[in-house]
Amino acid sequence: MKIGIVNDSRLAVAALLRVIALDPSLEVAWVAEDGESAVRMAAARTPDLILMDLLMPVMDGVEATRRIMAATPCAIVVVTMDLGRNASQVFDAMGHGAVDAVDTPTLAEPDSKLASGPLLRKIRNIGRLLDGRTGPSRAAAPLMRKASTERLVAVGASAGGPSALATVLGSLPAGFNAAVVAVQHVDEAFAAGMADWLDAQCHLPVRLAREGEGPQPGTVLLAGTNDHLRLIGATRMIYTEEPRDYLYRPSIDVFFESVAQHWRGDAVGVLLTGMGRDGALGLKAMRERGCLTIAQDQATSAVYGMPKAAAALGAASEILPLPQIAARIVRACNTNNNQ
């Protein structure tokens, strides 16, 4: 797996090189000191993965991510100091297609393996994604008879997801009365910040889903931990470590399939931009249960992985450009049977 490093700090580069050296299957393709150099190097030698700093001279990591994903797309992980204070830029970079974010490891840690663990795990997970090893397939969830007039919108997103979620959720009107639950692939360290970031851009209130509560009409609940969010029964959600072997945490498939199994009213499933296949099987389970299912189209996806997988499975009843999805959701929730 060939990796590009973009960072203007020699100490940070040394720490990243130490992480990469821990796994003999990883290879450094090049090192760039600023975003502008990174764009040129990525065009000349596109790596499998880029470890992208945010704060650099000449061109910052957000703009470099945007340009690389537009010209020579590849997996990008934001690796920078003090992610909490730079959360808005992290979400901007993820909106342009960055897969994940993690704090820069330091050379000062006494246990190098412990310090390198979070980044190395993310690198290896992305390697599995690139290899197509995303975990076992599962049978579709059993179908349940509709017996309620309540409506639920289940949304899943990954790379490119923050800005896509902001577009869709921000276009839902203040009087929208369906419940909305969103699952975004993001480390739990950033989940609360993402909920606040989305809340500032939406007419509906956005907050993290709490253990034991159910979907709330007129409210957007965001999965908030590295465990999977699952609907159990019609009115209660829990966080669960199982299945432990899933690459995606939290898994969109797990939540979508629980909706197909337990939600008694009408539901709409929406799968947005993202790398890999998570959500495709769950969206198919929702469609087989009779739900309206929507996948984002290729032209408007920052990373056309998850929606492409859903389209290939016949999981999406409609494939729509991002700007049209919110209006379709509103129309479906204002009519009977999601028409």
Beta strands per DSSP E along 21-172: 27-32, 49-52, 75-80, 100-103, 151-157
Which of 34, 96, 100, 158 is labelled catalytic? 158
In angstroms, the CA 123 to CA 14 distance is 17
In angstroms, the CA 163 to CA 243 distance is 28
Q: Classify 107 in phi/psi space as left (phi over 0), alpha (psi -120 to 50) or beta.
A: alpha
Based on the residue annotation, tell me whether 278 is a catalytic residue of this protein: yes
Of 269, 327, 324, the residue nearest 300 (C-alpha): 324
Q: Which two tokens stand for residue 339?
A: 């028409």
Which of 92, 278, 297, 301 is labelled catalytic? 278
- State the Rg of the chain over Cα: 20
Based on the residue annotation, tell me whether 185 is a catalytic residue of this protein: yes
CA 92 vs CA 78, 88, 132, 165: distances in Å: 11, 6, 26, 12
Which of 60, 100, 116, 185 is labelled catalytic? 185
Beta strands per DSSP E along 64-210: 75-80, 100-103, 151-157, 179-184, 206-208
Instruction: Say which residues have a Cβ less than 8 Å from residue 108's Cβ, sequence separation at least 6.
Output: none
Based on the residue annotation, tell me whether 203 is a catalytic residue of this protein: no
Place of tokens 């997988």: 309
In angstroms, the CA 234 to CA 138 distance is 22
Catalytic residues: 158, 185, 278
